[in-house]
Amino acid sequence: MAERPGTGRDVRRRRRFDPAGPVTGMFFLVLAGLFLADGLSDERILAPAVLAPVVLIGLGLVGTVRVLTRARRRELR
């Protein structure tokens, strides 16, 4: 029976920190907090004219971080 490559020897790979996940998570948590605060309060937290560009710029930043750190998530075989 053939062994899978790398199973017979002690191969320890050091996992590097990938900032894309935490950055994306924090962005969506902040965004959810803004929408929740806006829904629970009687007055507007952010006007729609301000909120729409904030969301679009945030999505652009999150996408940029994910593209720049893609090599850290790729696991070549």
Residue 55 to residue 60: CA distance in whole angstroms: 9
- Which position has the higher pLDDT, 31 or 5? 31
36-75: per-residue pLDDT in tens?
988 898 888 888 888 889 889 988 988 888 888 776 666 6
| DSSP characters over 7-70 | SSS---PPPPP-THHHHHHHHHHHHHHHHHHHHHSSS-SS-HHHHHHHHHHHHHHHHHHHHHTH
pTM passes above 0.75: no
Residue extents of the structural domains in the chain: 20-72
Over 60: is that where the pLDDT of 1 sits?
A: no
